[in-house]
Amino acid sequence: MNNKKSPTNIITPEGFFFSTVEAAIKKPGKKDLLLIYSPREAIMSGMFTTNQVKAAPVKLDMQRIRAGKGQAIIVNSGNANACTGKQGMRDALAMTRLIAKGLNLEQDKVYVCSTGVIGTPMPMERVRAKIPELVTGLGKSTPDDAAAAIMTTDTFPKVVTRRIRIGSKTGTLVGICKGAGMICPHMATMLCFIMTDLKIGKGALDKALKDTVETSFNSITIDGDMSTNDTVLIMANGMAENEPIKRNTAAFMRFSSALSDITYELGRLIVKDGEGATKLVEVVVKNARKQWDAKKAALSIANSPLVKTALYGNDANWGRIMAAMGSSGIAIRETRTDIYFGKVRVVKNGISQGKDMEAARIIRGKEVTITVDLRLGSSSSRVLTCDLTEDYIRINAEYRT
């Protein structure tokens, strides 16, 4: 096994290996099984969907992550292994058991994630047949290959990397994710796997992940539907041999900043790839009384089908923004509220400024920023979303066919 540089010059952290194979889980023609492996035991942290209906792999991983250690993750696309009863849990366990046997690991050091159609039994005969090839292929795939293998309705692989210096050592972080639909906050909103060769304590890793998820994956929305399988896992195997990163240190701040960069950029790529989307939209609410008020108002605007369809139609219909914000339940004063499309202020003190046509030219672009200034306090929040098109309906109408 050899670490490789991917075609897009993504550098793999030291001591991590990837393998991808085709098991024809949903249909033939694409690689749909991924294995991530670190020969050295890694410190691990994870966050999971808050949906009360959780897929079998999520339930299993939530148990195993308590130990905070692991060495391998097996991931499949094409089948969510959700709402599959006791057999679903048996299948999830079997996938980890097969990998553990192939790599000579303890079974609880292996995690499993699935994405795809809900309610369909996992075709385990196809998965079992491909495990030996998956194990022997370690080191032959890149992070780009890994990201491609976990795609469902995604149109491109999503990979982001950062390198940072900790003391005298330089470490690497790489993140891959999938997601284009069923994207709504309240945890991770998709599958995401982050690997680093930096050495960091479990408490520090937990805090860094929790903080960065809140400002990235918990601040994106495409359609307001929360998946049953959402998972973020991070592995830190320490092979950079730096001094261990501890909380409340300069090294921790550098690590957290790099991790935030990765998760925010991955979240941005997810929204950019939103099913049927033609626009990436950033909603900024500033000068709210409380942080939660700003976040709640931004989400209310970002999730509004009326706002999203107006954006698709290049209609600067600020009335829909005002209505969405007013129904969010936060404290606002209509007569103090300003609304901007880009730098064009269309509303001042709750009154139209007659610049709808100018604003319409702004929103014809591929990336749009909507800013709402409540002028009530000092708290701000931003949420990433996209427009809503007829292609979103077509993609989801045909999802199981």
**What residues act catalytically?**
189
261 phi/psi in degrees, rounded to 5 = -60, -45
DSSP 323-348: HHHHTS-S---GGG-EEEETTEEEEE
23 phi/psi in degrees, rounded to 5 = -115, 0
Q: Of 47, 365, 392, 360, give the one whose Cα is nearest residue 192.
A: 47
Look-up of token digits 């090839």: 133
**Dihedral of the alpha carbons of 303, 304, 307, 311, in degrees to the nearest 10:** 40
Query: 367-400: string of b/e by CB count within 10 Å (b at 16+)?
Result: ebbbbbbbebeebbbbbbbbbbbeebeeebeeee
> Is the distance from CB of 251 to CB of 351 less than 8 angstroms?
no
Q: Which amino acid is at 104?
A: N
Pairing mode, strands 379-386 and 280-288: antiparallel
Distance, CA of 264 to chain centre: 9
